[in-house]
Amino acid sequence: MRSLLLTYILTWILVCALFTTVPQIGGASTITYVSDKSLSYSAYAFDDYTFNFDSLPFEPSKLVAVKLTDSSVSGDGLFFTRKGSYTDTTVAVLNLTLLGTTVTNAPVTFEGDYTNLNLLISGTTATMQGSTNLFVANNFIHAYNCVIHIQHTTVTWDADGAGGSVFAKVDWRLLPLRETSSFHMTWTEATNAASIFYAVVSASSREGSISGAGIMAIDFTVCTNCKKAFIDSENGVTSVAGPMDSSFRVSNATMTGRAVFWRWSYIQLLTHSYWATIVLSGITTDGPLFRSGVYGTLHKYSAMTMVHINAMSVGLLSSDRLFPHHTGSIPYCDIFMGNITIGGVKLPAKISTYRSYKLNPTVLIDDFSFATTNSGSGMHTYPIGAPTPAYCHWNCYRSTSTETLGPPNAQWKRAQCDCWTQYFKPYCSPLYDPIQYYAGYMYDASACNVAHCHTCQWPSGDVCAKCDTGYVLDGPGCSLSCKVDHCTTCVSNTKDECAVCEGNYRLASDKKSCTAMTCNVAHCDICVTEKDSMCQKCSAGYRLESNGTCTKVCQVGNCSKCVHDTEDKCEVCDGNYKRGEDNVSCEAMPCKAANCDTCVTEKDSVCQKCSAGYRLESNGTCTAKVCQVGNCAQCAHDTEDTCESCTSGYTATDSECVAASSSNGLSNGTLMGIAVGVSISAVIVALALLFFFCCWRRKERGLHSTESGRAELQGIAHKADMQSNEGHEWCSSTELESNAGEMMYYNPLLLPPTGKNGEITATESVSNVLHVRRHIDCNTSEAPVLHEEGPIRVLGD
């Protein structure tokens, strides 16, 4: 305990020392990282500022964590650079996190070769002009454990301009996405953009490709008044290409503006080959779906899925057709299609109809991925009604099955991918996928458990999509942060736009400020926001009326209501009081109604409340109550059929009195004995559960015993099923030491996510966290088997 406390103190001293050396960001400047320091910046303004990671240490056990929170970017923008080789897999892991960034017409640029990178950009709000791109990957190598996740982005370009791209990948070298790397863009809203994703190369011999278990995915994204295309590709050879378990996906996307959804400049749209997976699902656009020069092909052992699509037209030219690869008469691909609407007409489930629209499915499926029709030209033939692998990653699943969901009275079914052990459910992804269910069919979403969150990401329950009023997105959660002076509530998911000002203040037309407002209500301290003639809080000695005015508080004794706006003239006296001869004060009034405690105001012969044992009649008199309940000593007040207290030996039950010994047929002694017996049984069960829990905890600690102190690491993606100590010696060698560390973004290639939105909330030191990752990544026959969602725990004694 003493060493743990000392560790915390030393860590805080180190953090404080590091923060004192952080420069104030302003004008052109560069900070170069030469060690494994981890730094955080909060509320900095960046203009022509560069973070240089050229000199990261070549020690894969080291980790550099850089976190920028609530930053602003303007002018010439913000740059992140690294020069080296894209094959340098021994370089330190770089966890780069940007949260709640506000951008004003400036790019956020990434340049150079990045390996072992975890980049998380969340909650960006941007206002752009002209053709300025928001996020730019310039001459960027995205390879070998390079993970990029951009989420919750809101960006607007000026309506009259050409518009820029949310993410632009410019002049990349070699392949843009390769060797266990991924790019994810989720929950993005862009207005007046040229495109959501733009890719261009300057040399005609360079491909745009995804390879080596790479994943590119754009999910839950909206482009309003898109100027050019949702995806705009000007690659030298192909738009999307690449072998070996790679995948490309666009799901749950909406575009308006009548531009083409996917535009490519070369003759081929797709040349995926060898176990590639392409998914276009849940797409709605008021323009054509594709635009190409000649054709699109799908190469060997690959699959393409196009379902739940609504477009104005397919957009292919008369000679174009999406078709699978053949060698002679042998087909090598499967193309799944279904629920496609073109020009407002839903295509019937006929192969011939789809082909008339220049689409070439090998299998037609229903809304839940069960086969309805086979063309006979695919690599596989699926029995009608059988579950298909339409959403499964090709070569990563071993079979398909039927999953039954919903309550017993409303069950429904969908196709399910049965994954090999090393791949991630539910679609057998070779890398961790932050969007677990993108297929567009779920019975219901998980309950939203994020504090101050209005709506969670569907179907997740622990990642917020929209915060409550007055809160803004902060990673997966919501934080209260409104920076407008005299503002009580900011516009949802903003920090500089006010929705409701304080009292005596009025909201400016641009919503950026609250200006003082003179209150014109007499005897009012604070007027209602935006209304200078309606009071919110009256001055002392005055009370607030329903019409927003202030009247004096009545000072007359025993008076329930004074004359309007007076404090010394009574209008209505309390009960048993009447106005005096001066007609403004209240004096005692003897109640003359028999058996009455309180008479009606001003009427000494009309009763308002009778004495005990009497009931009030409609004419204001009191008559004696006669209790009609047998064996009842006293009925409830003003009733004759509801017993309040029974005579001795009887108990009140359902307004009646029954003999105490006959209740439920048991005597009082018997009932007492039962109660004691139940209490003793409950204590025994509680002790047994406590003993079992203690033994279980001891067993689990023994399974993962270490000498460096007790620690716990929990995650949400997978759990290790460790059923015995046999064959798991690696667990006992796991070393964790408690240390106050930075929030660390996980590397999906090394460790399943262990916190909300891919951040590790832990106190383990960097080197030891990586040590745990290496062991968990082991997938030998002796290692624990990873399976579906759940916590993963590593415990030490």
Spans of all domains in the chain: 458-552, 703-787
pLDDT over 60 at 377, yes or no: yes
Q: What pLDDT is recorded for position 566? A: 77
Q: What's the CA gap between 108 and 263, in Å, rounded?
A: 25
Q: How confident is the model at residue 458 (pLDDT cuts 50, 70, 90)?
A: low
Task: Note the pLDDT tens digit of each residue in 607-639.
Answer: 988 888 788 888 889 988 788 888 888 877 667
Q: What's the CA gap between 626 and 613, in Å, rounded?
A: 8
How much is the mean pLDDT over the chain?
Answer: 73
Q: What pLDDT is recorded for position 201? A: 65
Q: Report which residue type is found at 590.
A: P
pLDDT over 50 at 777, yes or no: no
Q: What's the CA gap between 760 and 713, in Å, rounded?
A: 9
Task: Note the pLDDT tens digit of each residue in 330-350.
Answer: 567 889 999 999 999 999 999
Average pLDDT over residues 548-569: 82
pLDDT over 70 at 236, yes or no: no
Q: What pLDDT is recorded for position 348? A: 93
Phi/psi of residue 336, each to 5°? -100, 130
Q: Residues near 439 by Cβ (< 8 Å), separated by ≥ 6?
A: 251, 281, 369, 391, 414, 427
Task: Note the pLDDT tens digit of each residue in 10-20.
Answer: 444 444 444 43
Q: What's the CA gap between 151 and 473, in Å, rounded?
A: 11
Q: Record the tokens describing residue 24, joined without a space.
A: 């104030």
Q: How confident is the model at residue 253 (pLDDT cuts 50, 70, 90)?
A: very high
How big, in percent rounded to 5, are the helix, strand and coil portions of the chain?
Answer: 10, 40, 50
Task: Give the best-scoring range by mean pLDDT among 81-85, 380-384, 503-507.
Answer: 380-384
Q: Residues near 347 by Cβ (< 8 Å), separated by ≥ 6?
A: 340, 341, 353, 354, 357
Q: What is the pTM of this model?
A: 0.55
pLDDT over 70 at 644, yes or no: yes
Q: How confident is the model at residue 58 (pLDDT cuts 50, 70, 90)?
A: confident
Beta-sheet pairing, 650-653 with 656-659: antiparallel
Other beta carbons within 10 angstroms of residue 520's beta carbon come to 12
Q: How confident is the model at residue 97 (pLDDT cuts 50, 70, 90)?
A: very high
Q: What pLDDT is recorded for position 764? A: 34
Task: Taking the CA atoms of 193, 195, 196 and 201 in sequence, report the sign of the dihedral they define.
Answer: negative
Average pLDDT over residues 118-146: 89
- Please give the C-alpha separations between residue 105 and each of 18, 78, 131, 489, in angstroms, as whole numbers: 31, 11, 10, 26
